[in-house]
DNA sequence: TTGCTTGCAAAGGGTTTGCATAGGA
DNA sequence: TCCTATGCAAACCCTTTGCAAGCAA
């Protein structure tokens, strides 16, 4: 547990914006000015494998979530922002998936799509991103 | 509707493997040897925006699905393969999401994680990918 | 000490884009 | 004809990696 790793984890725990690696890098650098982007990536990967961080696929860049408790996400189809969503896990989804598949199911993630309040206010027919 | 676009759509409809852009490019090239990768990407993006194709975020590379009917996916944590999953939409998930959020919810996707039969057979403690 | 980690910088690899040309409606 | 799409290749950008030096245990 190096100083870098601790600070990365701490900063990630502070924010709820699901930052990208470089957004987190910017924050961490305020406390450790000499840290490199590579170190941020390496630690994020390690922490993800250790289960202390969740890596999210959202658009071109990946985002990271310091909250590993069970919760889902919404992604804005306008600006790409990702927000947490406190919704109960649907009853028996994984069991259903197990029945429907020959995969050994170990988990699931739900990503809702929608428009954030700001994008909604901004215009009715704004351009959508094709990103998943 | 150019010949290229039509062939891309046709080839994508044929396969159920959720190919990456370059996998699809390889297939399409068997019929249109002079097509370029850029054209494949451009059309895939256009088709996605038009709603004729679904773009999936799975690991580093994106995957494409020619089946736009309502269904979910499983992603193998070993090899990254993506398979379809015919599971009923959980009752009232989107309503619950609407209640829990100030986003204007327009849809959702569930991605299960698990191990495909092949990876399961291959070894009990194979290395996992940290990809989302 | 000993092995993992860092900083730096370059490599990597998927995706996007500019431009002149070709082709669909 | 007119406008959009294509092919080609370079540009982009996010992420990963090799290496020598540094640090935690």
Whether the CB-CB separation of A35 and A4 falls below 8 Å is answered with: yes
Instruction: Please name the residues in contact with B52: beta carbons below 8 A apart, sequence gap of 6 or more.
Output: B9, B66, B68
Q: Which residues of A touch B76 (CB under 8 A)?
A: 103
Q: What share of chain A is helix, strand, coil (3-state, %, to 5)?
A: 40, 25, 40
How distant is C1' of D11 from CA of B38, in Å? 13
For B115, the closest of A49, A103, A112 (CB atoms) is: A103
The pLDDT value recorded for residue B125 is 57
Tell me the pTM: 0.92
Nearest to A105 by CA among B75, B20, B110: B75
What is the CA B61 to C1' D19 distance in angstroms? 28
Please write the tens of the pLDDT for every residue from B56-103: 988 789 999 999 999 999 999 888 899 999 999 999 999 999 999 999
Using the CB atom, is residue A42 less than 7 Å from strand C?
yes
User: Are the beta carbons of B49 and A130 separated by less than 8 Å?
Assistant: yes
Residue among A108, A128, A130 whose CB faces B112 most closely: A108
Q: Which residues of B touch A121 (CB under 8 A)?
A: none
Over residues B12-46, the pLDDT tens digits come to 999 999 999 999 999 999 999 999 999 999 999 99
């Amino acid at each position: 547990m190096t100083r870098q790793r601790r600070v990365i984890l701490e900063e990630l725990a502070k924010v709820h914006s699901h930052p990208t690696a470089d957004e987190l890098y910017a924050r961490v650098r305020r406390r450790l000015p000499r840290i490199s982007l590579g170190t941020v990536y390496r630690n994020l990967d390690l922490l993800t494998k250790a289960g202390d961080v969740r890596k999210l696929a959202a658009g071109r860049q990946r985002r990271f979530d310091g909250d590993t408790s069970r919760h889902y996400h919404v992604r804005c189809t306008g600006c790409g922002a990702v927000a947490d969503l406190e919704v109960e896990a649907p009853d028996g989804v994984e069991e259903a998936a197990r029945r429907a598949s020959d995969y050994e199911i170990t988990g699931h993630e739900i990503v809702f799509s929608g428009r954030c309040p700001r994008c909604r206010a901004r215009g009715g027919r704004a351009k959508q991103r094709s990103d998943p």
